Amino acid sequence: MSAPSALLADGRSLSAPLLIQLFIGQCLVLALHLPFMPPWLLGVALAAAGWRFLQLRRRLPRAGVLLRLTAVVGVLAGLWLQYGGLMGMQALMGVLLGIYLLKLLETHDRRDGRVVVIIGFVTLTAAFLHDQSLLMSAAALLAAAWLLQTLVVLAGGRPGRAAWREALWLLALSAPLMVVLFLVVPRIGPLWSLPQADQAATGLSDEIAPGDIAQLSRSDARAFRARFDGAEPPPAERYWRVYTLSQFDGERWTRMGPEQHAASAGQPVSRFVQEASRSPYDAGAPRYIAELLLEPDSRPWRPSLGTPLASDARQRYLADGTLEGLVPLSSRGLLQVGSSAAAPRYPDPAGPAWHRLLPQDANPRSRELAERLWHAAEGDPRRYLAALMARFGEAPFRYTLSPPPLAGRDRIDDFLFDTRAGYCTHYASAAAVMARMVGIPARVVVGFQGGERHPDGHFTIRDYDAHAWIEVWLDGAWERLDPTAAIAPERIEQGAEAFLGGSDDFLADAPFSPLRLRELGWANRLRLNVERAEYRWQRGVIGYQRERREALLAGLTERLATLWSRLGQLTLGDALHLAAVATGLLLLWSAIRRWRQRCAGGEGHRVRLLQAWLAKRGHGPLGGESPAAHLRRIAPVAGPAQGALEGMANDLERLLYAPLPEAERRLRRRRLVRQLAEIKRRWPRRR
């Protein structure tokens, strides 16, 4: 049975083509969410659309209340099982998607179709809660254009090119207003600043055990991006500090927060952390100033190149040399940080004794080795540490992403004397423990080292750039010591990607990563261009904040003031010249406006001009006479122009009232122009 034709009056049934159009819109909107939402939602969309189309073909009854309630309960149950509840952000977005998809079950007339489209716009906007990338924005624009074109069709417009032209014209008309609102309206807070799910952008945590960071080499997830204002640090100084870990239980290194430190030491919290836009612990001048584009994260950590010294907004400066935001980032954000690129020069309020603590009676072989090296160094801390680093650089120690597991009680002993293979955390943990064994205060620092430099000058730091090193207290200041530089100096100089790229474990969790094509010239250039465009989008559009808006408005105000002052200095000749230019532009605009009015009138405008021309010759239309009837009435007295008049009348009726294909419509319009010229050329001179 063939599908009925579209009936667009309110209360009339929608046709199969319109339902297909609504379903395609749902698919476009759902495609924006599927990378972040359960894939079974696609099955919900197909089931709802399939039922609706079978019902349209009279093979199934209309979806009753019981069926619709069952479908809603099924979607809610699926989301409950997926997320363990319905109050999280992802679950609530799943509810919105379910409502949008199941609405098709009760969509029967034009009003229902408009409701589906409006819900589609809301669901489309919610997609930016997941991601605000350039690709997401382009896909959302495509989906919005489809939904708008659907509204045009539902409003009675002709489907196809005509509806698309109107939809694109509406989008073009709204673009200038959108740009003005974006540039000048203060940001109250974007929709996607709502609380996000408790998830981290990077795998770094505030506690580590040997082997933990090695797992991050399997991922290419982006941690943050950085651009330097001025000089860029050399590879050996690209140590991005995130956490300072000072508590060791024999297995794991753990970060103790400032509030915990203050409580255990009986000191005020202000000695361990302060909110400011400049470090209260170090008054030195920043060596590097970096603008960071941070990924959303449920934790408030902020990276800094060495010790953070200043920032463009208030942050939490910790006495252990790390930086925290006042709140976690729910969307990408910009932060400018000035830093020293070195370890802190000031003491930790926790005191040296805290940084010497070790479990008792653990790792006896390591203690014996430490005493032997300390005796050989004659009690000189620097000579002792140099000997320890030299030992790491000798065989059979090796640097690997797949170290043997350490499961015993004396794990440092097992690593130093048995396995002798590990990643940065193995060597950093062992070095810090060996330093503490001879009374040298030491702590582990985790963060990132290196980063990929792009041709436009910004750096991308990813999960596989995660790194661990140590700091030791020597001569009244903390000093950075990186055992990895002894065992694998290429890792520091070349970066993780270049050094680890040949390993089977590298990017094991990212099988389709474009970084796997970095050896293919054209593919790598394409990747870099895409990432550059994405960075500029995030920095210039998503990162557009109050300070930049105020700077833009201040610049516009300054230019207007300069222009006004120059206008006040114009001579009479200059004023007359400007007036002449303005008059010419006004005349040009008026001519263009008249031309556009004529073009907008189409065939109707041409026929009205012809009727006016005929009226001057005594053959004007009669009252209530249609243009085609007028042309046919005077055709017998038009002599040689009779054929052109009759042909013009036929083409005019077809253009005005017949549902012609666009190609035939263009053909008849061109023929109208030729017939009009022929009528004027062949009209009898004396009549």
Catalytic center residues: 424, 467, 482
d(CA 371, CA 5): 92
* Integer angstrom CA distances of residue 616 from 55, 137, 355, 610, 647: 61, 58, 105, 10, 22
Q: Which tokens in the block code for residue 637?
A: 């007295």
Asked if 209 contacts 432 with a C-beta cutoff of 8 angstroms, the reply is no
Q: Which tokens in the block code for residue 85?
A: 């509840």
Peptide bond into 396 cis (omega under 30): yes
d(CA 291, CA 312): 10
d(CA 27, CA 21): 10
Q: Which tokens in the block code for residue 528?
A: 């870099």
d(CA 297, CA 203): 11
Q: Helix H segments across 451-571? A: 484-487, 489-494, 496-500, 521-537, 546-568
d(CA 229, CA 237): 16
Backbone angles phi, psi at 111, to 5 degrees: -60, -45
* Integer angstrom CA distances of residue 458 from 247, 453, 516, 535: 35, 6, 21, 9
CA 564 to chain centre: 41
* Integer angstrom CA distances of residue 310 from 230, 287, 323, 385, 601: 16, 11, 10, 32, 64
Backbone angles phi, psi at 198, to 5 degrees: -75, 80
Proportion of the chain in helix, strand, coil states, percent, rounded to 5: 55, 15, 30
d(CA 679, CA 687): 14
At residue 78's C-alpha, the angle toward residues 73 and 82, to 5°, is 150
Backbone angles phi, psi at 150, to 5 degrees: -65, -40
Q: At what angle do helices 572-615 and 662-682 cross, to 10 degrees?
A: 80
Q: Which of 322, 410, 316 is nearest to 362 (CA)?
A: 410
Q: Which amino acid is at 375?
A: H
| 3-class DSSP assignment, residue 470 | strand
In our burial notation (b when 16+ CB lie closer than 10 A, e otherwise), range 533-553 reads ebbebbbeebbeeeeebeeee
d(CA 330, CA 196): 6
d(CA 603, CA 648): 10
| 3-class DSSP assignment, residue 274 | strand
What sign results for the dihedral spanned by CA atoms 361, 364, 370, 376? Answer: positive
DSSP string, 32-69: HHTTTS-THHHHHHHHHHHHHHHHHTTSS----HHHHH
Q: Which tokens in the block code for residue 384?
A: 């002792």
d(CA 131, CA 295): 10
CB atoms within 10 A of CB 473: 21
Nearby residues of 447 by Cβ (< 8 Å), 6 or more positions away: 204, 239, 240, 241, 242, 243, 303, 466, 467
